[in-house]
Structure 1
Amino acid sequence: MMAKGSSSFNAEEDAQKLRKAMKGLGTDEDAIIEIVTNRNLFQRQQIVTAYKSTIGRDLIGDLKSELSGNLERAIVAMMTPSTLYDVQELKNAMKGAGTNEGCLIEILASRTNQEIQRINETYKHQYGCTLEKDLVSDTSSKLRRVLVSLATGNRDESQYVDESLAQQDAECLYEAGENRWGTDEDNFIAILCSRNRNQLKKVFDDYQKRYKKDIAESIKSEMSGDLECALLAIVNCIRNKKAYFAERLYNSMKGLGTDDNTLIRIMVSRSEIDLIDIKAEFKRKYGKSLYSFIKGDTSGDYRKVLLHLCGGED
């Protein structure tokens, strides 16, 4: 979905306005927010190019030096091409002490084969090593198997449903979990990471009918920690990706403190794909609009960016 952007768009003009907003003492943050939030991603990339060619400076570098905190994070994210943004988020999730497993799971469980393939190519180009190599060195064994499998971008994406295979898979999942002492995670990973969306929905339906238990409930009772989170993310993305992102957004704002990174990442990365549908799911699920949640749960200038991405109260 291409966002509307500005109808009277002029990349060179915007580049000059942004430079003016950052030149001299102090930074006109409102002017930056006004320009960036009223352009679509394609237009913002043209501004980056125009800024370099007409001013001879790197726009992203200037934004990073003039802005700070969550506003910097949100504005720079909006100025970054989608695949590169995913790649940077994956790298940041594995950088330094500790790993942000939630970010790795969210991106790799929700992207299409084509998006994953572009991520792999860009990651190698940016960092000189493969995404798989970094995942292997940075994640624990059980989670590693899921993430590496998802990162191959090799899920069947056909619409075809094989009913007898669905029954076999449902039985296989039951035998690998509920019907044995201990859990055979490999079978869960093999089935959940490779079958197409319609096929898995049929597997989940067969599982429910046959064993009177939802597959998500079985995963919760059989797994724990990051592996449980990863497999649940796959199930939720297969069932309803918009509802999965709505839940991620809700969890980023509920309770004390806000998980700003997750909130910014989802709002920016889905803004021109399915954010309108995610907003509808959010309201249906939580009885309150995403807009009002953000308004009540965030503060500072970056809130203006997020509210603009939200596009209004509905």
Structure 2
Amino acid sequence: MFFPNGYYIVSEKMTGIPSSSEADTPVTMAAIGSRGTVTEFRGFNADEDAQKLHKGMKGVGTDESAIIEVLAKRTIAQRQLIKQAFKKAFGKDLVDELKGELTGNFEKVVVGLMMPSPVYSAYELRNAIKGAGTDESYLIDILASQNNQEMREIIAAYKNAYGKNLEDDICSDTSGMFQRVLMSLLTANRDESDRVDQAQVVQDAKAMYEAGEARWGTDEVRFLTVLCTRNQKHLLRVFEEYQRISKHDIEESIKREMSGNLEDAFLAIVKCLRNKPAFFAERLHKSMKGVGTTDSILIRVMVSRCEIDMLDIKAQFQKMYGKTLYSFIKGDCSGDYRNILLQLCGSDS
């Protein structure tokens, strides 16, 4: 369970795990997903890990391999206990120490790993909207891929970290129908049941068809109403019915009817509903294909999904592009940055 103080509180009664205050006792804490490449480290001891990290950073130079060996092989919850143990043993904040020792993209990965998942998403959203300009792709990627509970946790984490309402900050930085789509996602009120009403399926598919391809101009509100509120199982049936009516895939129709950020937002919602690992595989491929690397996307996806569904993302990546994610990262990055990403990726398969 996440509370907006940046920690996961796990009931000892529920898990049989000793409380984090028992620093001398080895503990294990489960990963936040069941399909991640990063899983709980057996025989975990926060004090020992804190000592390893301190040894790797003291004196002249930094032992980056020690940092990778510890932090890339522990769950988020375990890293929080390491942070507490480090503070207790050395009177210093582990994240501050890491920032002082590391630089560049390697630092960004390590700092990201030290944040609980909602805190990291809040941090990335803040980076997307602060200062001059807005990185709408950040907003789309993060907000389109959350369930209701995850969204509420991100909103709470944002408020706790920055003293502001996420809705207000995004609203002040966006406009038009794109803004309305993001605000709808931020309400975290999507139906998450498995109920499918066939009559409603037909009605929703017909409504979107009549709002787009069947008329001059597009009534984006109808798309918003259906795509941002209905449950996943229902919408998958709607997409099938839409193709039957229009003879076009819903994604193709969105591309024909929308443009810019609004098009990107609706497409991201549809893709996440259809196959979330495939959505993230596509984002990873886009970040590395061609000349140069969009490191911000690569880092965000690898850090945020390594403990949730990276195994599925890897499988989708190979299926979609004929190469392993591991090989792409190995050929596109270098140094300690590459090494830690490869550790988060897991084996070359």
Q: TM-score per shorter chain, which class?
A: over 0.9
Task: Give the residue type in structure 1 aligned to 2:130.
Answer: K
- Equivalent in the alignment of 2:13: none
Q: CA deviation at 1:26?
A: 1.8
Q: CA deviation at 1:142?
A: 2.1
* Distance (whole Å) between structure 2 residues aligned to residue 300 and residue 227 of structure 1: 38
Listed as ranges, the matches of 1:129-144 within 5 Å are 129-144=164-179
Preserved CA contact (<8 Å) 2:167 2:183: yes
- What is the aligned counterpart of 1:257 among 288, 292, 298? 292
Runs of 4+ more than 4 Å apart: none
- Equivalent in the alignment of 1:224: 259
Structure with the higher fraction of residues in helix conformation: 1
* Distance (whole Å) between structure 2 residues aligned to residue 214 and residue 125 of structure 1: 41
RMSD of equivalent CA atoms:
1.1
Matched, 1:15 2:47: no
- What is the aligned counterpart of 2:201 among 166, 191, 198? 166
TM-score (ref. length: structure 2) = 0.88
* Distance (whole Å) between structure 2 residues aligned to residue 107 and residue 74 of structure 1: 17
Decide which moves more: 270-279 or 7-16: 7-16
Aligned to 1:110, what secondary structure does the other structure show? coil
* Distance (whole Å) between structure 2 residues aligned to residue 165 and residue 154 of structure 1: 18
Matched, 1:274 2:309: yes
Task: Give the residue type in structure 2 aligned to 1:4.
Answer: T
Percent identity over paired residues: 58
- Equivalent in the alignment of 1:179: 214
* Distance (whole Å) between structure 2 residues aligned to residue 62 and residue 225 of structure 1: 41
Unaligned residue ranges in structure 2 (runs of 5+): 1-32
Q: CA deviation at 1:184?
A: 0.9
Q: CA deviation at 1:131?
A: 0.7
Unaligned residue ranges in structure 1 (runs of 5+): none
* Distance (whole Å) between structure 1 residues aligned to residue 73 and residue 270 of structure 2: 35
- Equivalent in the alignment of 1:25: 60
Task: Give the residue type in structure 1 aligned to 2:174.
Answer: T
- Equivalent in the alignment of 1:152: 187
TM-score (ref. length: structure 1) = 0.97
Task: Give the residue type in structure 2 aligned to 1:305.
Answer: I
Task: Give the residue type in structure 1 aligned to 2:142.
Answer: I
Q: CA deviation at 1:251?
A: 0.5
> How many pairs align?
314
Listed as ranges, the matches of 1:1-314 within 5 Å are 1=33, 3-314=38-349
Q: CA deviation at 1:59?
A: 0.5
Aligned to 2:188, what secondary structure does the other structure show? coil
* Distance (whole Å) between structure 1 residues aligned to residue 133 and residue 290 of structure 2: 23
Preserved CA contact (<8 Å) 2:39 2:307: no
Q: CA deviation at 1:256?
A: 1.4
Could you report, residue by residue, the CA deviation over 1:155-183 in whole angstroms, capped at 9, with x for unpaired residues?
A: 00000001111111111111111111111
Decide which moves more: 236-245 or 32-41: 32-41
Of structures 1 and 2, the one scoring higher in RCO (CA 8 A, sep 6+) is: 2
Could you report, residue by residue, the CA deviation over 1:213-235 in whole angstroms, capped at 9, with x for unpaired residues?
A: 11101100111111000000001
Preserved CA contact (<8 Å) 2:194 2:233: yes
* Distance (whole Å) between structure 1 residues aligned to residue 310 and residue 128 of structure 2: 23
* Distance (whole Å) between structure 1 residues aligned to residue 223 and residue 277 of structure 2: 23
